[in-house]
Each structure stands twice: as C-alpha cells, then as structure tokens.
C-alpha cells in the first residue's frame, strides 16, 4: 500500500482508505454482524490500510463504536477521521456550541483520547467562512490535543474556495469521481495551502462499480434516481468500458483515476466484505495510463459536465 502525506499533521495515510458508512448501518443496508465488521477492519489493517473515515450518524453511532472496538490496542497504527453536524440520533445540528460535546461523544464511541481529524459534515454555505465560531472551537480542541486537524466535508468548488479563502483548515473531504469532476478545479489551490484532500463517493454511489445498468432498480438511499437519470448514467457506464480489462475492474479503474491526481491524500470507497476490500486495495497496484485519464477528463467536459445526474 502506497502512503501519502496527510496535510500538516505529520501523518502518512494509505492512499486507499476505509469508508466506514456501512459499518453497523441498518438504515441503508443489511448490517453485518459486529464480529464480522470488526474482522473486516482487522483485515484492512493487516492489508495495509491505515486511514479510517466515519461519522456520528453512520449507523446511528454504530460505525464509530465498531471502529473503536476493532482498533483497541492498535490506535497508534491508524489515522481516524470523523465528523460533526449529523448526530447519532438522526438529527442535523450545526450549532457551534454543540461541537465540543459532539467531539467528546465521538472520542467515547471510538475509545480514543484524540482524533486525527474532524470535519464539519456538509454544512450550509453560511457556515463555511467561520463567522459562527466553529473554527474557534476547533482551534481550542486542537490546542488541547483532542484533535490534530480539522476541516470540512463539501461537494463543490464554490464550497472549497469559500473555505480555503476564509479559514485555516488542514483537511477537506470532497466529492470527486469520473462522473463528477467539478471539484478538481480547486485541487491545486488546496495543495498550495497544504490541505489534505480526502475523496468521498469515489464510485459514484455504485455506478462506477460496473454492476448497474438501465434495468437496475434501487431501494433505500439509492431510490433517489429517476428513470431518466438511470438511463443517462447507464449510457455513461457504457462509454467508459475502455478503462476495464481482464485484470482491471471498473471499480479499480475508477479509484486509479482519482489516485492519478497528486493533490489527493486518500480515497475512501465503502467496504462491506473482504472481496470489496481486496478489490479496493488492488486499485493501488497500478496507475491509470495517462491517455485514459485524459479521455475521462475530456468526457467530463464534453458529455457529463452539463448533464443533470443528481448525485
């Protein structure tokens, strides 16, 4: 597993990380049993993954709890990123005066005395410039040693520029993948400011796994796509078949596209079983050819950029 710098924290992180959304999540997926989830985290560690991403609302706190149990005795080996804004009881609360309590609760569930990083979790645009006091609280927590770095999780270049220009954050989690390349416009500026970039939704909510097509049906969180959007996405999947071959699945290629950007610190695909874990890790074994990267960038500019694909 290749390692990359994690901003100014002094830490190195595995370029392929572990997205913890599925751990204990009974709301959107059939939850794996606790021993199975813990074993999966252990396998990830043993295979070289050291970056784990979670949040209080993932599994209503269960994701953090399972990571805490799995990482007991191995805390020094890993980098943990969690979030603030979506609570473990299903509410949304971005009030700055609840931030400290949220961090303390995450520390308790994770069974650790510090977080490597914490992000304000997809907040309203009005929160990003810090005028409501969030960054002051986070600086206090940093000075107390409870967090090493802080930042935001956002979805657009507009959001990224607002934060970069009006704060001193050290970490940013952004949505970016073959079908959503808009945020790449701010990657260089983030790098110039030594901001660690975590890439979320790397497989475009499963479309870049190659397992969906125009006849696919969806339940739960993925029922948001209209028949028109499903048709558009299916057509795009067909257009990018050139990135696959006998040894390269679409998932692997999708992750390699993201890792072709040197500004990226780590990418966090979701993990539900050992087979997915191994496939994710295999993405790092090779790099995407430059001509393929260029073709995918051109496809975004000509065929995708102005389409309404939802997310």
Residue 111: how many other CB atoms lie within 10 Å: 15
Partner residues linked to 154 by β-bridges = 174
241 has a pLDDT exceeding 80: yes
Asked if 186 contacts 305 with a C-beta cutoff of 8 angstroms, the reply is no
Q: Rounded CA gap, 214 and 253, in Å?
A: 21
Listed residue (295, 300, 307, 53) closest to 183, CA to CA = 300
pLDDT value of residue 292: 98
What integer is the mean pLDDT of 246-274?
96
Q: Are the C-beta atoms of residues 48 and 17 closer than 8 Å to each other?
A: no
Can you list the pairs that 222-225 forms with residues at least 24 positions away whose Cβ atoms lie under 8 Å?
A: 224/310, 225/310
Q: 58, 94, 135, 150: which one is catalytic? A: 58
Q: What angle is formed at CA 267 by the lines to CA 182 and CA 304, rounded to 5 degrees?
A: 25
How does pLDDT run across 51-91, given as a tens digit for each residue? 999 999 999 999 999 999 999 999 999 999 999 999 999 99
How many Å apart are CA 195 and CA 177, to the nearest integer? 19
Is 212 annotated in the active site? Answer: no
- Model confidence pTM above 0.85: yes
Is the domain spanning 3-206+248-288 CATH 3.20.20.100? The answer is: yes
Per-residue pLDDT at 210 exceeds 80: yes
What is the domain partition of the chain in residue ranges?
3-206+248-288
Indicate the burial class of 144 (C-beta count within 10 angstroms; 0-12, 13-18, 19 or more).
exposed
Q: How confident is the model at residue 296 (pLDDT cuts 50, 70, 90)?
A: very high
45 — pLDDT class (breaks 50, 70, 90): very high
Tokens 């971005």: give the residue: 94
Q: Report pLDDT for 196.
A: 98
DSSP 97: G
The enclosing H or E element of 120 equals strand 117-121
d(CA 95, CA 235) in angstroms, rounded, equals 42
Residue scoring higher pLDDT (206 or 99): 99
**Is the pLDDT at 26 greater than 70, yes or no?**
no
Is the pLDDT at 223 greater than 60? The verdict is yes
What is the DSSP code string of 6-18? -TTSS-EEESB-E
**Residues present in the chain in total:** 311
Q: Are 239 and 308 in contact (CB under 8 A)?
A: no
Which residues, in sequence order, are bridge partners of residue 4? 13
CA distance 98 to 252: 39
Token pair belonging to 257 = 């596209």
Q: Match 């692997």 to its residue by tokens.
A: 252
CA distance 260 to 279: 17
User: Which residue bears the tokens 């706190």?
Assistant: 61
Q: What's the pLDDT band for 30 if we cut at 50, 70, 90? A: low
Six-digit token pair at 15? 């370029």
pLDDT in tens, 102-136: 999 999 999 999 999 999 999 999 999 999 999 99
């Amino acid at each position: 597993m290749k390692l990359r710098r994690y901003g100014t924290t002094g830490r190195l992180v595995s370029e392929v990380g572990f997205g913890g959304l599925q751990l204990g999540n009974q709301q959107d997926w059939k939850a794996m049993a606790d021993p199975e989830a813990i074993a999966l985290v252990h396998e990830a560690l043993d295979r070289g993954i050291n970056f784990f991403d979670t949040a209080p609302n993932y599994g209503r706190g269960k994701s953090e709890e399972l990571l805490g149990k799995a990482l007991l005795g191995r805390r020094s080996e890993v980098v943990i990123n969690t979030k603030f804004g979506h609570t473990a009881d299903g509410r949304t609360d971005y009030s700055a005066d609840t931030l400290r309590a949220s961090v303390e609760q995450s520390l308790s569930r994770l069974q650790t005395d510090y977080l490597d990083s914490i992000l304000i979790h997809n907040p309203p645009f009005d929160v990003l410039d810090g005028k409501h006091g969030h960054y002051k609280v986070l600086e206090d927590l940093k000075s107390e040693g409870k967090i090493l770095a802080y930042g935001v999780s956002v979805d657009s270049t507009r959001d990224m520029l607002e934060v970069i220009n009006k704060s001193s954050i050290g970490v940013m989690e952004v949505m970016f993948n073959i079908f959503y390349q808009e945020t790449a416009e701010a990657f260089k500026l983030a790098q110039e400011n030594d901001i660690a970039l975590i890439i979320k939704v790397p497989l475009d909510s499963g479309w870049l796994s190659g397992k969906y097509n125009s006849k696919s049906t969806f339940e739960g969180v993925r029922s948001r796509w209209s028949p028109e959007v499903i048709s558009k996405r299916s057509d795009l999947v067909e257009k990018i078949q050139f990135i696959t071959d006998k040894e390269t699945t679409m998932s692997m290629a999708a992750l390699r596209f993201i890792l072709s950007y040197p500004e990226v610190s780590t990418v966090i695909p979701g993990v539900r079983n050992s087979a997915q874990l191994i496939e994710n890790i295999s993405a790092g074994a090779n790099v995407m050819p430059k001509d393929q990267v260029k073709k995918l960038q051109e496809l975004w500019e000509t065929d995708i950029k102005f389409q309404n694909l939802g997310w």
